[in-house]
């Protein structure tokens, strides 16, 4: 059975002191769970200090963004090469970056390749906007996002990628509508089908797929129970240590219920 993955996206919140305070609270409230992997994605600024303070038995770090070139005259940018000693994962293709920073399918493909080249596992976010959903384009949008993002990887490298299905309309920033478990299940199955066509059934089965979109301590169990869902990407609720600790605890309970039932 795969480890359940819970990722906290702190977005552009918390200065160094605030991030350190939140980390200390999380250390207090979240025990180490062997089968639950908890990843914190703070701002780039605080990755370095947090990497010194973090209890690595409990948490791993992720970058929220970086530039796809390894070094050079790119004023203001930070590369995956610079982050490789600090983080295990990097979020790539988040809808806020696609929408606010005009990241294209090709930009995201280059970032995925740069992360892999620098030994960082990408958490690739995919998802349709409300308009695309209304127009019946969910399938094609997600297919294109996945095919392009993974285009420069070998099938060995693909297995290091985590995919997060985040319907844009369900993310708190963009309206936070509640996604139905049935709809999420269909999209996750479609993602595995696309991966299977491209890289084979084993890769498709093994790849971890998360759900993200206003997940909180009340809804997390419902989302983690969706067939094929291997974890959650959490935004706003991850800034509250009580809520985030409750989310991790729910993931733990769910994981062991499934083990006892013999699922997975």
Catalytically annotated residues: 94, 166
Which residues sit opposite 79 in a β-bridge?
67
Closest residue by Cα to residue 199 from 231, 151, 246, 245: 151
Answer yes or no whether residue 9 interacts with ligand PEP by CB under 6 A: yes
What would the 3-class secondary structure string for 89-136 be? EEEECCHHHHHHCCCCHHHHHHHHHHHHHCCCEEEEEECCCHHHHHCC
Q: How many residues of this chain bind ligand PEP (CB under 6 A)? A: 15
Least distance CB 237 / ligand PEP (angstroms): 6
Among 20, 172, 196, 240, binds ligand PEP (CB under 6 A): 172
Answer yes or no whether residue 103 interacts with ligand PEP by CB under 6 A: no
Angle at 49 between CA 45 and CA 55, to 5 degrees: 125
Answer yes or no whether residue 231 interacts with ligand PEP by CB under 6 A: no
The pair of structure tokens assigned to 49 is 């200090």
Report CA torsion sign: 259, 87, 119, 151.
Answer: positive
Answer yes or no whether residue 213 interacts with ligand PEP by CB under 6 A: yes
The pair of structure tokens assigned to 6 is 């819970």
Among 90, 234, 245, 247, binds ligand PEP (CB under 6 A): 234
In the bound state with ligand PEP, the residue whose beta carbon lies nearer, of 50 and 126, is 126
Of 26-34, 141-149, 206-214, 221-229, the segment contacting ligand PEP by CB under 6 A is: 206-214
* Interface contacts to ligand PEP, rule CB under 6 A: 9, 94, 166, 171-172, 176, 212-215, 233-237
């Amino acid at each position: 059975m795969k480890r359940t993955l819970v990722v906290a996206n702190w977005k552009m919140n918390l200065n160094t002191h605030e991030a350190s305070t939140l980390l200390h609270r999380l250390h207090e409230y979240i025990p180490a769970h062997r089968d639950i992997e908890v990843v914190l994605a703070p701002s780039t600024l605080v990755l370095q200090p947090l990497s010194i303070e973090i209890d690595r038995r409990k948490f791993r770090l992720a970058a929220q963004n970086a530039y796809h070139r390894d070094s050079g005259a790119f004023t203001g940018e930070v590369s995956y090469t610079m982050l490789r000693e600090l983080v295990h994962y990097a979020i790539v293709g988040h809808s806020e970056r696609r929408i606010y920073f005009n990241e294209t399918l090709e930009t995201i493909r280059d970032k995925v390749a740069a992360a892999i080249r620098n030994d960082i596992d990408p958490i690739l976010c995919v998802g349709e906007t409300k308009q695309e959903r209304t127009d019946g384009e969910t399938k094609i949008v997600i297919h294109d996002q996945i095919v392009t993002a993974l285009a420069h990887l070998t099938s060995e490298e693909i297995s290091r990628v985590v995919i997060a299905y985040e319907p844009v309309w369900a993310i708190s920033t963009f309206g936070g509508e509640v996604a139905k478990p049935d709809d999420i299940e269909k999209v996750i199955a479609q993602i595995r089908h696309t991966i299977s066509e491209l890289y084979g059934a084993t890769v498709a089965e093994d790849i971890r797929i998360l759900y993200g979109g206003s997940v909180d301590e009340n809804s997390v169990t419902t989302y983690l129970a969706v067939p094929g869902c291997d974890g959650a990407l959490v935004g706003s609720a991850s800034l509250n240590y009580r809520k985030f600790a409750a989310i991790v605890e729910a993931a733990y309970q769910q994981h062991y219920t499934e083990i006892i039932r013999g699922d997975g």
